[in-house]
Amino acid sequence: MAGSKLDPIDRHILAELQGDGRMTNVELAKRVGISAPPCLRRVRTLEEAGYIRGYHADIDPRELGFEVQVFAMVRLHSQAESDLSAFEARCRAWPLVRECHMLNGEIDFILKCVAPDLPSFQSFLTQELTAAENVASVKTSLVIRCAKDEPGVPFDVLEARLQRSA
């Protein structure tokens, strides 16, 4: 299990930073029970090892006028690796696509899209997404409201698994 490669302090550091990536190193060190210099070294090591991919602000799209959120389920004509990679590259270039996940089953990809309004999304849908090479079909679902949007991983579940396997 990947999480077991980390000691409890490293996992505690990750859990704290996941909850608040803006806290100072001094505050982080206090929360995890070590002094600041080794805490900073551990954070840098976690960053270099790829456990921490980056830091960002959690922006409210509606506050900036992005009133429409849509999930688009995309089926492709071909699932050859080159065609899958080409579609992923196209998704990375579309500003309205905020997430792109390849799935198994009937749907090849699910895209999370944001747009200022419905006409903007419809324009993207008809002029770019459905018109893209290799796209067989697109089904969309408009988000009415979000009941939960929790980033990261549930560290309490990881800790419980590690306790059972110890």
Query: What is residue 151's three-state secondary structure?
Result: coil
Residues 61-142, CATH architecture: 2-Layer Sandwich (3.30)
- pLDDT-derived band at 64, boundaries 50, 70, 90: very high
pLDDT at position 4 is: 55
Query: What is residue 34's three-state secondary structure?
Result: coil
pLDDT at position 2 is: 58
Residues 2-57, CATH architecture: Orthogonal Bundle (1.10)
Compute the average pLDDT of residues 48-66.
Answer: 94
The residue among 58 and 138 whose pLDDT is bigger is 138
Compute the average pLDDT of residues 99-126.
Answer: 97
Residue 162 has pLDDT above 90, yes or no: no
Contact present, 108 and 42 (Cβ < 8 Å): no
DSSP result, 117-130? SHHHHHHHIIIIIT
Alpha-carbon gap, residue 161 to 154, rounded angstroms: 11
Alpha-carbon gap, residue 37 to 165, rounded angstroms: 31
Residue 3 has pLDDT above 70, yes or no: no
pLDDT in tens, 70-92: 999 999 999 999 999 999 999 99
Q: Tell me the domain boundaries of the chain.
A: 2-57, 61-142
Domains 2-57 and 61-142 share a fold: no
Percent of the chain with pLDDT over 70: 98
- pLDDT-derived band at 1, boundaries 50, 70, 90: very low
> How many Å separate Cα 90 from the centre of its chain?
18
Query: What is residue 76's three-state secondary structure?
Result: strand
- Smallest Cα–Cα separation from 103: which of 139, 131, 79, 125? 79
pLDDT in tens, 115-125: 999 999 999 99
Torsion of CA 62, 65, 67, 71, to 10 degrees: -90
